[in-house]
């Protein structure tokens, strides 16, 4: 197991309320679509069933700081799962992506300075 990756800003509120493992599970379950967060969950909602009523209430209280569409945060999830020792193939299956993409996420090739430095300057 390696050091956990830095949490991106769009996922931070989920991690603060649910913890890293809870945030990963929440994002894998609800990420990519809009999600209604009732202000007073009673336990019947899918959110409350997954995280419990208290954490569902905390998410509802923090909903002003969140977008309606839940982020997928696949790069961060891949990095978290790798830090827990999961093999690349298993991460790829869990995230429904290729092992090539997972390796790029883990190497952070999509956001490296070298990638951006290859872009021709327009102005």
- Segment 36-88, tens digit of pLDDT: 888 888 878 899 999 999 999 999 999 888 888 999 999 999 999 999 999 99
What CA–CA distances, in Å, run from 61 to 46, 48, 56, 57, 108? 17, 14, 9, 6, 33
Chain-centroid distance of CA 77 in Å reads 5
**pTM to 2 decimals?**
0.83
The tokens describing 88, both together, are 């690349």
Question: What residues does each domain of the chain span?
Answer: 9-65, 86-117
Least confident among 30-34, 73-77, 111-115, 116-120: 111-115
Rg (CA), the chain: 16
Matching residue, tokens 């827990």: 84
**What is the structure's pLDDT at 113?**
52
More confident residue, 116 or 99: 99
| 3 state SS of 3 | coil
């Amino acid at each position: 197991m390696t050091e956990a990756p830095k949490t991106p800003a769009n996922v931070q509120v989920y991690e603060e309320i649910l913890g890293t493992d809870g945030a990963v599970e929440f994002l894998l379950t609800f990420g990519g679509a809009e999600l209604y967060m009732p202000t007073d969950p009673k336990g019947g909602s899918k959110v409350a069933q997954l995280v419990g009523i208290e954490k569902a209430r905390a998410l509802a209280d923090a909903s002003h700081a969140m977008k309606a569409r839940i982020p997928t945060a696949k790069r961060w999830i891949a990095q978290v799962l790798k830090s827990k020792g999961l093999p690349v193939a298993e991460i790829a299956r869990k995230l429904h992506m290729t092992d090539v993409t997972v390796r790029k996420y883990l190497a952070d090739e999509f956001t490296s300075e070298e990638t951006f430095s290859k872009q021709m300057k327009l102005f």
